[in-house]
Structure 1
Amino acid sequence: MNARLPLRAETAISVASPLEVMARLRDHFVEHGTVSGTDERWTVAFDIGEAEALACDGHVRFRVAAADPTSLAYLQWGVAEHVCEFAPAEAPEIVWKGGVIPGAPLPYFREMRVLRARQITPRMRRLTLAGRDLDRFSHGGMHVRLLLSPETDVKPVWPVMGKDGRQAWPEGPRPIHRVYTIRRIDIAAGEIDVDFVLHEGNETPGANFAREARPGDVVGMTGPGGGGLREADWYLLAGDETALPAIGRMLEEMPAGKKVVALVEIADHAERQELQTKAELDLRWLSREGRPAGTTKLLADAIRALDFAADASVFVWAGCEHAAAREIRAHLHMERGLPRRNSLIAAYWRHGMAGEVENSD
């Protein structure tokens, strides 16, 4: 394995069909990294490290390597999660040698405290959270999972490292979790900004937390994660208000000389924000004019109306409601013929349902 990746862990997992499990893993990993080798032994190189699989008599031996504890823990988690997914009936026992000690705090977890809050627009509230050792959250993804107390004045338990490499939970009230974007990070000050859309309704723990947050309130955080932009001549960024924090951060980090078209769906004109960038920006606000979120085709129709060549010169990033993401994905790949490697289309939420949606391209 790569000598520049000094942190290592390994495990041998007994399964009935090692080659079948390896094949399914390889087919999954090829979408996220570069795979090389044979059916019996292959290696996949990710942005965060490497994983190696070797078929042995009645089991698969895995070795993972990374440059930092968070990346190593992510690789352990990924291997364990997908082996259990691809061999569910066997309930394979997974025990790692090396890596984080079982029961120890997760290297990708931080306990954060609210410093301040302010209103950005009528429906967008920004919380500044403070924590220690935030350098790893400045790269490798801009999304985090916030762990929120299920009840007022009740501190939940925080996850720890399980022996199989996945999260384990001590006894006690578990937090509610939601995914958000780090809008701004200041490593030296130990601060991050997170923007919350103030959704209406009872099943909105993130919005409720943002409305009621006071200095000193505690929240857990794991991460970072989420895909970013690939190199291209110009970019199309599209999303509703839930993706606006990510679009705003990507624009701020975009270098001069790049061209960007940004399509942002908002409730009404009061939700417009000042977005800064060094790139050449064509910003278009798409107002629902009072119509509920998730009930229009503003984003999909706006993308259809754009005149652009679906080739290697463009990268499309979109974050929005599930049905809109599905329609945008189909239009780009099936109608325009845009290669899948030239897009990242994420379903941030689903109309009529509470919670997260795990669906991205």
Structure 2
Amino acid sequence: MTNPSEPGPGRPDPSLSAIVGERRRLTNLAYRLLGSLADAEDVVQETYARWYAMSPRQQEDIDSPGAWLTTVASRICLDLLRSARIRRERYVGEWIPEPLPDRAEWISGRSGGGLDPADRVTLDESVSMAFLVVLDAMTPAERVAFILHDVFGYPFADVAAIVGRSPAACRQLAASARRRIRVPRPDPGSSARRADVVRAFKRAWEAKDIDALIGLLAPDATATGDGGGLVTAALHPVEGAEQVARFFVGRPAVAASVTLQECTVNGQPGLVAQRDGVTVSVMAFDVTDDRINHIWAVLNPDKLRSWTTEPFSTSPCGPADRKVGRGA
């Protein structure tokens, strides 16, 4: 006899689709909390594993499965953020959040394969590289309280249950995090101008035109590279427009040539470098008032797994141009 609370043979479980439907939101949440798509996917998998480890009766006793999944995923992220501070002390060089491709531009050009985790992350200002870098400077509790309340709209009472503090304390955490945020919200109308600046940087770099590069950089511009100890990258940020310009012009001499392409990185104009069809560097830019304030170059191959080579052959992100050396 079939239990009324269980689906009969051949009948879909109406609650299953609702549970699985939470995956996109959970991935969005975990990526913003951790700055790593790989870690976010692991968190989501662990969250579902804990759900399915419960008996049907235990699952039925949960009034809001979506809220339960969010709570569990957030607590896992909080634990990872706390342990990450210890792991970062052993990280070689600078740590940059994992760059995210805009798969909406590429998905029609892909062949085969299932839904990639990158397809489940909504691109907006809360995943820009500049925003994620600021988030990474927060305490774990600040970051969780801020993202849950300010980005995802959870009330402080719910945040308190996740963080393990009072609603008033969580309100203070979010306020403290808010004061750290100095990243201006991008003007949608300026997207084309930011793309023009990145394109001009690419051309000046290819031409080894130091004066043109300096003209595109803010006086206090900074370039940060992340090789993770796996590939060569500057161990410390390069600061100052002239120093950054000379750094990039000097890079082609140290490595075999690569192909630069314009593309979207975390929802903003960026550049992708490929060598022999393999992505070796992804560069994100912070552009304000038509000047580049910061360049983040991720070379750590462990952080480039979402950047497949196939979509670039038909991608509208930008054509392959001349060859230059590896980036920062």
Per the TM superposition, whether the score is higher than 0.5 is no
Q: Normalising by the residue count of structure 2, what TM-score does the alignment of the two structures yield?
A: 0.28
Which structure shows the higher helix fraction? 2
